[in-house]
Amino acid sequence: MKEGGPFMWVILMVFLTGLGLCFYKFIQLKRQDVNGSRLFDLVKKYVLENNVEEALNSLAGSKSVLAKILRSGLKRANEERQLVEDAVATSIMEHTPKISYQLNYISLIANTSTLIGLLGTIQGLIISFAGVGQGEDAKAEALASGIAKAMNTTAFGLISAIIIMALHTYLTSKAGRINDRIDEYSAKLIDLLSVKKKLNQ
């Protein structure tokens, strides 16, 4: 760390911030990663028994986005399909952004690590060139110090960025799967309520 100069500490702080944000986002997504199939099967069971109230109660204990969206559709269970679709669509627009929220900050942190590493490289080159006009001993020392700073900050910045970007890719993929599941079971709920309404007419 010492050989890389002050930029090494800046990169370290940015890296630790990125790791903390990744961990926070992982915990947040873990709470949203519910068993959609089991949840929907339970709702379907109660809907087919004409017990919408119990279907709503079965979702009350879950704080997941999927449960909230299914509840919004169930509250319109006895209305026309279009009204159910509108309620579900509104709920999706309200809740799904929370799933991908902060992922862009993680990407920004990875890019920032790389750029700070480049700043350290420039600092190292400045030190190296500043020693060119000095005596042989001073020049050799300046070159060694400058090159060490340049290489260390570049390497540390790239390593930090690679780790954060790998975590960002994983979290983005996880968020995408959760959103796909929400779309799938929201559509299934709309179809279920529509068919059930027609059968009851």
Tens digits of residue pLDDT in 13-56: 999 999 999 999 999 999 888 888 888 888 888 888 888 888 88
pLDDT band at 168 (very low <50, low <70, confident <90, very high): very high
Rounded Cα gap, residues 111 and 42, in angstroms? 44
Mind listing the pLDDT tens digit for each residue in 175-189? 999 999 999 999 999
Reading the block at residue 40, the tokens are: 């929907």
pLDDT at 184: 92
Q: How many C-beta neighbours within 10 Å does residue 91 have?
A: 20
Q: How many C-beta neighbours within 10 Å does residue 89 have?
A: 15
pLDDT at 197: 72
Rounded Cα gap, residues 114 and 121, in angstroms? 11
Q: What does DSSP assign to residue 50?
A: T
Strand, helix or coil for residue 135: coil
Rounded Cα gap, residues 70 and 39, in angstroms? 9
Radius of gyration of the chain (CA): 27
Mind listing the pLDDT tens digit for each residue in 139-156? 666 666 667 777 888 888
Return the closest-CA partner of residue 42 out of 74, 20, 13, 12.
74
pLDDT band at 79 (very low <50, low <70, confident <90, very high): confident
